[in-house]
Structure 1
Amino acid sequence: INQECATIMMSTYPPGERVSKKGALIGSMEEYKKLYTRSIEDGDAFWAEVGKKQVTWFSDFTKTQSGGFGSGNVAWYLNGKLNACYNCIDRHLPEKKDKVALLWEGNESKDIRRITYSQLLEGVCRIAGVLQDQGVKKGDCVCLYMPMVPEAAMVMLACARIGALHSVVFAGFSAEALRDRVIDGKCKVVVTADFGLRAKKSIPLKAVVDQALAQCPDVSSVLVYKRTGGNVNWTQGRDLWLLDEMEKHRPYCPCEVMDAEDPLFMLYTSGSTGRPKGIIHTTGGYMVWTSFTHKNIFDVHDDDVYACVADIGWITGHSYIVYGPLCNGATSFMFESTPLYPDAGRYWDMVQRHKITSFYTAPTAIRALMKYGPEPANKYDLSSLRVLGSVGEPINPEAWKWYYNVVGRGKCSIVDTYWQTETGGIMLTPLPGLTPTKPGSATLPFFGIQPILLNPENGKEVERKSGDDEIQGVLAIKKPWPGMCRTIKGDHNRYMTTYLKPYPNHYFTGDGATIDKDGYFWITGRVDDVINVSGHRIGSAEVESALVAHEAVSESAVVGIEDPVKGQALFAYVTLTNGFKSDAKLVDALKKAVRANIGGFARPDYVLCTDALPKTRSGKIMRRLLRKIACKDTNLGDTSTLADPKVVERLVALRAEIQTSGGKGDRAVSRQFSLTAERVELQRKQGEEPPNKRLKK
């Protein structure tokens, strides 16, 4: 198994033949290299051309860019005037008014809506009128707490149309988290729905909003989209049904003329202090960046059906469901449900029925589907697919290979994309049909991106020495790019301190990376996920990949805990593939697999098998919680964003059993497997306090 994993990581896969047959937008690697070199050496001219081609301007910009990382005053397309909504809808109408703009599939596969560009304009304009009726004007901020329905995208575009910022809060956040974001954004209007639907669950969105707004006296209006028709509490004078209000307004509303540097939206992302950061993206540079990356990285042709199955509550949904695809005049697919409802074939059933050509999802979803083997995917005709994208975290080689062979049938291009909320769009990526790919590598930089590895000890560039197969360091960017965020709302000093001051005159990503002998980039995880064991800096992603390469493991997460001898010890959480049971023999095999794959220094000190890992509703593993649990820290903080809070309870119980077992190291870990999730649940039913409660006492 370890040899196979090593072979996969060393292998180079050819570009997908289906893209090549269609005809890639960029014709060859030679053309890519030529364009990339120009984008770095003559960036002003390059981005001026791209800006004029990708976006329609009401008034042309007078200068391509100004400012820099040192001063923190980066600006793009100075004095240019445009409107994001106009670029996403109006300008396409002469040729594409009857083309499907949004193709939506609801929680049930029979719930399908096809919204053309002309219909999208009408809906957006009516909502814009509703917002203006509620006093929303240019520069104001509107909060969205909505399910994945087309009206959510319409509200975003309506805000852009009238010059208001939108602040989309993922509809899985708690009332407290929503309250904090509404207050920080100074939002006076909140748009929500009565309920959301997700698999077999009905999510009471309006009730959460009511609870949050009890402490938000400045909110004057709540617009409610009727998704299910279920009963909700109603505040007269504040609450309005969105669809009823839309009927009162004309199907056209003029666009506000915006400066290229006017804010387009605010989106909150987690901070290391736990205090969310309201990231501000501006209009001109963001629209150029998202549309240009979307067009080239997903090889978008006019007759394509492009599907990103993220949520608009995250930056992926903003950039690659709404703004990028619609600015390109594409058909963008929206999905309300989950990959496992009603069964593990849901994604592939959608691909077959809608003839989806590009599919963009997260490694977490891929790994979840891997548990069910190839059979669910093999039932469906997936021949329409050309490009398969991965986003959100580094994809481990085994998941990459499964995606390539089982879903892509070995004929699709895999684009393993690296980027962040702050970057606005994709930074490192293969180009479909061109870039030879390596499982687990984000490969090469996109145009205009000049990545560099810095030594975290002295801030200097890591230089490759003779004989080095790879170099390691922290990943930084040398030059500004159009799509980068401009500030953190109300706290520009925090923006500077977080991104621009750690390594002067560079943008600090917060991630570690490796560059191999071919110049390919491998993301090793957040710098705070780099674990120092006896002087060895070990990327958590590297150990996780070695664990997942074992046939018994479907998913893993590795964190560091304090060790009196080694400084830090490796604590691994793993979920097992169906058919495997946790025991001391398997634990030993997993540790040996890591030793064989990476080295003895990377051998986990602890391996805890569990039925699930704590994840947000978007599928991201909450490593902060895993660190606290591993360190026996019972102050877990806010867990409101978890998809299933009970997972944490079970992990705390399992970890406590290790501590109270009387042994250390391997022996303690082996014994803990007798405490299964079922046993914890049985203890609870019988009234016995779980181990975590006993531990607190």
Structure 2
Amino acid sequence: MSENFDVKLDGKSYLPDPSVKEDAWIKDYDKVYAESVKDPEAHWGKVAEELDWFKKWDRVREWDHPYAKWFTNAKLNISCNCLDRHIFDGRKNKVALIWVGNDGKEEVITYRQLYREVMRFANGLKSLGVVKGDRVCIYMPLVPEQIIAMLACARIGAVHSVIFGGFGANALRSRIKDAQAKIVITADASLRRGKRLDLKSIVDEAVVNTSSVEKIVVLRRMTPAMELFSEIEVDFYEIMEGVEKECEPEVMDAEDPLFILYTSGTTGPAKGIVHACGGYMVGTYYTTKTMFDLKEGDVMWCTADPGWITGHSYIVYGPLAVGATILISETTPDYPDPGVWWDMIEDFDVTVFYTAPTAIRMFMKLGEEWPEKYNLSSLRILGSVGEPLNPEAFEWYYRVIGKGKCPVLDTWWQTETGMHMITTVAGEPMKPGFAGRPVPGIVADVVDEGGKPVPPGTGGFLVIKEPWPSMMRTVYNKDERYRQYWTTIDNYYAAGDLAVKDEDGYIMILGRSDDVLIVSGHNIGSAEVESALVSHEAVAEAAVIGKPDPLKGDSIKAFVILRMGHKPGDKLKLDLVYHVRMNLGPIAIPSEIEFVESLPKTRSGKIMRRLLKAQELGMDPGDVSTLED
């Protein structure tokens, strides 16, 4: 985008029942927000006082652009805040996790049980030689053991890298190699729509030529149990046998890394986003508690997967730090029928429901009769995450699922931010199509390419002007890529999103300004898909774009130049789809493939994907002065 553009804004808004604000943690957003940005250190310091620390901080914040330190010299362990403190504050027998499997199997785990399992598995990891600072790759289905593994790593100071179980062998291998993971934790299989999806064979392929991997820990779910042949393979539960029941938490500095999470890059392989222990804990705790307005009796269901940042922040660390009961499930929203999620909300009295616009649009398509079959009166707060919630989906979600009484939180944030940055605080007026206003403590704005704020109703770039606790600390092994976030537009954090602000300060997210695609709420880098296509023997060059899709948000279209001697055809299209599936997994499969003779490029050789997109969607291509031909 080279110039500003005007956006037509609908002034429609909904005001929640006054009782929502009366009972909310934040009763006066304007007052709380004004105080938080006037003195951010006082704001975040007050939040941090609610958590447990081995040693308090010397300073809340040190800012040396583009690097921040939060809670300097403080000592903590995030697992203690998610587990130990609840054991001693009366929540020992409170339910921490409810798990529902694809086959309807249920498991209920209290804070006491989770605490014990985490300590045993932590000691099991130590018995394999894992020490503070080692990287541990977790490639698992959404089962309680995945969360146990994450918290066990945090307890002993190992840096976990959770990789979504839908990725293929090449994507998994690249992430293992980049992180130099010492241990890979996986399962024999995941279950989806009643079908077994093998994970172990993908790991076997991925670890070939990864010299850092010393052990593969396998959760054996299936009957009969698969044999573990290799000298490096061990069973998930067997490493917990015969170990000490207690595991002293590693004393972590607030700035020690907690995890690496890979997110799609725009110009190359996935980026390893590094989050630190102290600030990430404070940010996710605060936003879980206040944005979702969590109370002691709530049951929270975030339908994401811990393979993505949403699962890290709002399934695991945020809710458990607050001491909430969380529901997790392997089920898909339409199997065995489109009533399965609504049935679970009724069955478990879910009060806080957090899902993706993709799922909401799918339910809209299936019709209101499915949710109407179930009693959804337990619901109190609705949330949306992963991409902008379009006004039609907002209206449906608010009316059909929330019955016009539940606040709808359209949350904007990123892997890089770690926590909610923009949303509508429970009790405040909601505007369909708008994410909302900045979370207290966050200074967000919409600016032009030079960093100058644009007028209300004018599109621009979304930026964050000041550091925040849960901001990423670096890109693993690629710190220059981290610095780019803070140097592209003035001295602000450039989010890579286009946005517009209205007269009341509400921000609407318009979509990506770079080459990241959002498919069913999952960020897919165009470079990764293009790389997978080009690795096929028939392909000389490829470019991919996202096309608006009424269900997925984006669908992927690929433009492919073939090598000499290869002819276009339906058979080759199927081969390329299969090739991408095996390399990256099903989420990255192109919906369309078009064979072309050339691609539009700049004089420096960069593919101009926005021209392809403009041509595909019948839009004005804008400035083409850098086009080679």
Same fold (TM over 0.5): yes
Q: Say yes or no: does 1:460 pair with 2:460.
A: no
- Give secondary structure in 2 for the equivalent of 1:67: strand
Distance 2:493 2:549 in 1: 34
Pick from 381, 394, 398: which aligns with 2:392?
398
Match of 1:273 in 2: 267
C-alpha distance in 2 between matches for 1:280 and 1:141: 12
| 1:653 CA displacement | 6.8
Change (3 A) 1:522 1:230: farther
Q: Does the Cα contact within 8 Å between 1:81 and 1:260 map onto a contact in 2?
A: yes
Aligned to 1:287: 281
> 1 CA distance for matches of 2:371 and 2:596?
36
CA shift for structure 1 position 8: 10
1:50 Cα offset (Å):
1.2
Q: Would you say the 8 A contact 1:8–1:439 is kept in 2? A: no
Matched-pair contact (CA < 8 Å) for 2:421–2:439: yes
CA distance in 2, matches of 1:165, 1:317: 16
CA apart distance, 1:273: 1.3
Structure 1 position 442 matched with structure 2 position 468: no
Q: Find 1:500's aligned residue among 479, 486, 491.
A: 486
Deviation by residue 1:618-653 (Cα, 9 ceiling, x = unmatched): xx745xx326479999899955445367x63x6227
CA distance, structure 2, for counterparts of residue 628 and residue 18 of structure 1: 53
Q: Any idea what the Cα deviations from partners look like across 1:208-232, whole Å, max 9, x if unmatched? A: 1111112213311111112223564
* Pairing of 1:389-538 with structure 2 (within 5 A): 389-432=383-426, 434-456=427-449, 459-464=450-455, 470-497=457-484, 499-528=485-514
User: Which piece of structure 1 moves more, 445-454 or 230-239?
Assistant: 230-239
Paired residue secondary structure (1:364): helix
- Looking at structure 1, the residues matched to 304 and 253 of structure 2 have their Cα atoms a distance apart, in angstroms, of 29
Deviation string, structure 1 residues 443-493 (Cα, Å, up to 9, x no partner): 10001111122212xx131343xxxx5122101111000010000111111
Q: Given the alignment, which residue of 308, 311, 321 partners 2:302?
A: 308
- Of 31, 38, 62, 2:58 maps to 62
1:345-384 equivalences under 5 Å are: 345-384=339-378
Letter in 2 for 1:461: K
SS of aligned partner of 1:523: strand
Contact 1:304–1:356 at 8 Å: present in 2 too?
A: yes
Map 1:215-254; keep pairs closer than 5 Å: 215-229=209-223, 232=226, 234-254=228-248
Q: How many residues align?
A: 559
1:161 is aligned to: 155
1:3-22 per-position Cα deviation (integer Å, ceiling 9, x unaligned): xxx9994310112567357x
Q: Could you tell me which amino acid in structure 2 is paired with residue 79 of structure 1?
A: N
CA distance in 1, matches of 2:211, 2:75: 35
Residue 477 of structure 1 aligns with an amino acid whose one-letter code is I
Structure 1 residues 302 and 152: alpha-carbon distance in aligned structure 2, compared to 1, 3 A threshold:
same
Q: How far 1:47 moved relative to its partner?
A: 1.3
Match of 1:25 in 2: 25
Distance in 2 (CA, whole Å) between partners of 1:151 and 1:378 is 34
Cα distance in structure 1, aligned partners of 2:548 and 2:38: 45
* Partners of 2:547 and 2:165 in 1: CA distance: 30
Q: Which amino acid aligns with 1:447?
A: P
Moved more, 146-155 or 511-520: 511-520
User: Could you tell me how far apart the structure 2 residues matched to 1:140 and 1:643 are?
Assistant: 30
Amino acid of the structure 1 residue aligned with 2:13: T
- Counterpart residue type for residue 156 of structure 1: M
Greater helix proportion = 1
Higher alpha-carbon deviation: 315-324 or 35-44? 35-44
Aligned counterparts of 1:52 and 1:282: Cα–Cα separation in 2: 18
- Cross-structure match for 1:688: none
Name the aligned partner's letter for residue 48 of structure 1.
Answer: G
- Aligned partners of 2:314, 2:295: CA distance in 1, in Å? 15
Distance 2:479 2:580 in 1: 25
CA contact (8 A) 1:571 1:630 kept: no
Counterpart of 2:299 in structure 1: which amino acid? Answer: V
The aligned amino acid for 1:97 is K
- SS at the partner of 2:423? coil
Deviations 1:17-71, CA, capped at 9 Å, x for gaps = 67357x11222xxx21111111111111121111112x21100101010023x3x
Residue 626 to residue 138, structure 1, CA distance change in 2 (3 Å): same
Native 8 Å contact 2:79 2:151 kept in 1: yes
Match of 1:197, SS state, is: strand
> Deviation at 1:82?
0.4
| 1:185-240: CA deviation from partner (whole Å, max 9, x where unpaired) | 11111100011111122111111111111221331111111222356463332111
Structure 2 residue identity aligned to 1:14: L
How much does 1:369 deviate? 1.2
- Decide which of 606, 614, 626 is 2:557's aligned counterpart: 626
Cα distance in structure 2, aligned partners of 1:339 and 1:121: 30
Q: Which is greater in Rg?
A: 1
| 2:559/2:595 contact within 8 Å kept | no
Q: How does 1:603-622 map to 2 (within 5 A)?
A: 621=554
Counterpart for residue 593 of structure 2: 652
1:282-325 per-residue CA deviation (whole Å, 9 max, x = no partner) reads 00000000010000111100011011010000000000000000
Paired with 1:300 and 1:641, the residues of 2 have a C-alpha distance of: 37
Cα displacement string for residues 347-374 of structure 1 (whole angstroms, at most 9, x for unaligned residues)? 1101000000000000001111111110
Structure 1 counterpart of 2:26, which letter? I
> Considering only aligned residues, what root-mean-square deviation do their CA atoms show, in Å?
3.0
Aligned residues of 1:462 and 1:471 also touching (Cα < 8 A): no
Residue aligned with 2:49, SS = helix
- Residue 99 (1) aligns with residue 94 (2): yes
- SS of corresponding position for 2:472: coil
Q: Could you tell me the percent identity over the aligned residues?
A: 44
1:509-562 C-alpha deviation (Å, 9 max, x unpaired): 0001000122110001111379xxxxxxxxx99xx9xxxxxxxxxxxxxx9xxx
Q: 1:156 aligns to what SS in structure 2?
A: helix
Name the aligned partner's letter for residue 41 of structure 1: K
* Higher normalized contact order (CA 8 Å, seq sep 6+, divided by chain length): 2
Cα separation, partners in 2 of 1:409 and 1:529, compared to 1, 3 Å: farther
**Alignment match, 1:587:** none
Q: Distance in 2 between matches of 1:443 and 1:193?
A: 40
Q: Which amino acid aligns with 1:383?
A: S
Relative distance call for 1:7 and 1:487 in structure 2 (3 A) is closer
Q: Give the whole-Å Cα distance in 1 for the aligned partners of 2:32 and 2:382.
A: 24
- Equivalent residues of 1:339, 1:347 under 8 A apart: yes
Q: Which moved more, 1:76-85 or 1:220-229?
A: 220-229
Q: How many Å apart are 1:655 and its aligned residue?
A: 10
- Match of residue 46 from structure 1: 43
Return the alpha-carbon distance in structure 2 between the equivalents of residues 480 and 389 of structure 1: 25
Residue of structure 2 equivalent to 1:35: 32
Structure 1 residue 247, shift from structure 2 partner: 2.4
Q: Are 2:448 and 2:454, in contact at CA under 8 Å, matched by a contact in 1?
A: no
For 2:189 and 2:42, how far apart are their aligned partners in 1? 49
For the residue of structure 1 that corresponds to 2:489, the secondary structure is: coil
Name the structure 2 match of 1:198.
192
Q: TM-score, with normalisation over the residues of structure 1?
A: 0.76
- Structure 1: distance between partners of 2:475 and 2:75: 23
Counterpart amino acid of residue 98 in structure 2: L
For residues 478 and 651 of structure 1, the distance between their equivalents in structure 2, rounded to whole angstroms, comes to 39
Over 3 Å counting, the alpha-carbon distance change for 1:426 and 1:571 in structure 2 is closer
Conserved in 1, the CA contact under 8 Å of 2:546 and 2:557?
A: no
| Partner in structure 2 of residue 12 of structure 1 | 13
- Tell me: CA distance 1:86–1:428, structure 2 relative to 1, closer, same or farther (3 Å): same
Amino acid at match of 2:142: M
Give me the whole-angstrom Cα distance separating, in 1, the residues matched to 2:55 and 2:174. 38
Q: Contact conserved, 2:156 with 2:250, CA < 8 A, in 1?
A: yes
The match for 1:566 is none
Distance 2:162 2:177 in 1: 13
